[in-house]
């Protein structure tokens, strides 16, 4: 057998009665939909249910699968002192899943568990499902900071292992949608929130799994979603199959989007191999970007690619324009992969003879010297998108009213501590937020006296 169906469910603890205390009826459509899918899964008679939750242990570069024979969890932190749930893990499937992921080049497995207790991302669906299902094993997997394609292909591994072990498997993607639907939600309202929920529920309703792989990272962050990577894992587990999509409910009562959807497998289709479609479109997009790159970006790309492949620093080319060879300025080089930051290093003030040399230096540093990331590998080079910011002269300012997050970057300093934040960054909406991030980067206490400067940049792509 293999994967029989996939489901998308939210995990608001308040829909458990002993947490909600009556408030749960405000999202009754969600509860009704949960009960519907619990009965549907019971009728499918799965051997194993795989739950992807965004609230288990999360690593930037590794998808964690919970090890061991069993686990328990409760909802005491949400005021429920009665509910305690236990599950038995499908250890054979967990072990084979790690082997399959490694074989397919996906960093995933059971290493690095810090807390074996079940999180509410699995406890809430478990509360509903265990009312209908008794003799079933479970697998709990986390999400990670890896790309959408990595999560999708991890889902493909779930299907492959299920088939190899002749398991009847159901995959449940646990995750809320936007947390920024209104000011009454857990975060401030964001205009991206309702747009995200509208687009993702439309994809659920139509079974358009390619859409799940196509949301820009910056857009998702602005929308404040938590469930998309769980959904990508589920979609991957249904790769190559036709499905019967149903959006059973959607509510945003508390400023958070809650959707329940089901996808029953109905057949096989080569046209629904969405990772291959996404990879093809990304290749075309990258080729177009490279054909349109400015000479600033071409120089950064050449510098990093040469260094990664030969460990040599290129000489300054002789065919560059006058500003690159005769002007000096601070320069930041940023790298992105699959829409996510892959490295960013720069100089506030020039340390090289000209902008070109500054670019060469900082492109290499962004690729192999950013302490937040592992060094860029040869395999990654074709997937990188570059931008080069040339900084203008910094000028002192007295207060936040002199900042504009789109036009100006900010430098904060106290003694030898100094922090910089570039302008026009996704998710940075106010000068206050801009300064707070810069202070954090510099290690300066916001309560201390500190100096502020602003600067403009010319961004080259």
All structural domains of the chain, each given as residue ranges with its CATH number in brackets, are 3-278 (3.40.830.10), 293-386 (3.30.700.20), 392-461 (3.30.1490.150)
pLDDT at 425: 87
The first and second tokens of residue 79, run together, are 């005021």
Paired tokens of 88: 């038995």
H helical segments located in 45-105? 91-103
Give the residue ranges of DSSP H helices in 91-191: 91-103, 120-129, 148-164
| Mean pLDDT across the chain | 95
The β-bridge relationship of strands 169-174 and 3-9 is parallel
> Quick one: pLDDT at residue 134?
85
Spatial CA neighbour of 152 closest among 76, 222, 113, 101: 101
In this structure, the strands spanning 137-141 and 48-52 are parallel
Closest CA to 295 of 386, 230, 365: 386
Tokens matching residue 243: 């499905």
The torsion angles phi and psi of 48, rounded to 5 degrees, stand at -140, 140
pLDDT score recorded for residue 428: 86
pTM for the model: 0.87
Q: Which residue has the tokens 């900042």?
A: 403
The stretches in the chain having pLDDT less than 70 are 1
Quote the pLDDT of residue 1: 67
Q: In this structure, what are the phi and psi dihedrals at residue 452, rounded to the nearest 5 degrees?
A: -125, 140
> CA 25 → CA 126, 177, 336, 384, distances in Å?
19, 19, 44, 48
3-state secondary structure of 29: helix
Question: Residue 384, CB half-sphere, CA atoms under 13 Å: how many?
Answer: 27
Q: Which 3 state secondary structure label does DSSP give 74?
A: strand
- What is the crossing angle of helices 120-129 and 28-44, to 10°? 70
What is the reported pLDDT for 338? 84
Helix 274-291 / helix 148-164 crossing angle, nearest 10 deg: 160
For the CA atoms of 443, 447, 450, 452, what is the dihedral angle to 10 degrees?
90
Tell me the per-residue pLDDT of 64-95, one tens digit each, with 9 for 90 and over.
999 999 999 999 999 999 999 999 999 999 99
User: Is the Cβ–Cβ distance between 239 and 155 less than 8 Å?
Assistant: yes
Position 384 scores a pLDDT of 95
Going by the DSSP 8-state scheme, the letter that residue 199 receives in this structure is: H
């Amino acid at each position: 057998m293999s994967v029989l169906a996939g489901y998308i469910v939210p995990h608001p603890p308040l829909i458990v009665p002993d947490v909600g205390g009556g408030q749960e009826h405000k999202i009754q459509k969600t509860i009704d939909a949960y009960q519907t899918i619990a009965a549907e899964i019971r009728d499918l008679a799965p051997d194993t249910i795989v739950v992807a939750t965004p609230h288990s242990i999360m690593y930037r570069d590794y998808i964690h699968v919970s090890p061991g024979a069993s686990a328990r969890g409760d909802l005491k932190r949400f005021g429920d002192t009665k509910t305690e749930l236990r599950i038995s893990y499908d250890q054979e499937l967990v072990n084979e899943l790690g082997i399959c992921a490694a074989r397919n080049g996906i960093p995933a497995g059971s290493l690095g568990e810090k807390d074996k207790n079940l999180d509410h991302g699995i406890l809430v669906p478990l509360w509903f499902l265990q009312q209908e299902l008794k003799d079933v094993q479970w697998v709990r997997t986390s999400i990670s900071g890896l790309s959408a394609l990595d999560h999708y292909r991890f889902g493909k591994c779930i299907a492959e292992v299920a088939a190899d072990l002749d398991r009847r498997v159901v995959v449940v993607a646990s995750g809320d949608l936007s947390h920024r639907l209104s000011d009454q939600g857990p975060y401030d309202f964001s205009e991206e929130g309702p747009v995200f929920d509208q687009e993702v529920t439309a994809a659920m309703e139509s079974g358009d799994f390619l859409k799940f792989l196509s949301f820009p990272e910056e857009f998702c962050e602005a929308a404040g979603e938590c469930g998309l990577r769980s959904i990508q894992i589920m979609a991957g587990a249904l790769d190559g199959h036709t499905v019967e999509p149903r959006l059973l409910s959607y509510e945003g009562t508390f400023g958070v989007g809650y959707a329940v959807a089901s996808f029953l497998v109905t057949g096989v289709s080569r046209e629904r191999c969405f990772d291959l479609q996404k990879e093809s479109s990304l290749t075309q997009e990258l080729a177009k970007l490279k054909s349109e790159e400015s000479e600033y970006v071409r120089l950064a790309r050449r510098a990093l690619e040469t260094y990664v492949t030969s460990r040599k620093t290129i000489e300054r080319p002789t065919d560059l324009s006058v500003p690159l060879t005769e002007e000096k300025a601070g320069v930041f080089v940023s790298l992105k992969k699959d829409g996510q930051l892959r490295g960013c290093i720069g100089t506030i003030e020039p340390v090289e003879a000209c902008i070109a040399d500054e670019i060469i230096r900082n492109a290499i540093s962004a690729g192999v010297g950013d302490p937040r990331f592992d060094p860029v590998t040869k395999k990654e080079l074709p997937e990188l998108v570059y931008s080069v910011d040339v900084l203008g002269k910094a000028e002192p300012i007295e207060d936040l009213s002199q900042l504009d997050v789109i036009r100006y970057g900010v430098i904060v300093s106290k003694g030898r501590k100094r922090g910089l934040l570039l302008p026009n960054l996704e998710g940075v909406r106010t000068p206050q937020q801009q300064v707070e991030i810069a202070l954090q980067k510099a290690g300066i206490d916001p309560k201390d006296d500190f100096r502020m400067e602003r600067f403009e940049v010319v961004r080259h792509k």
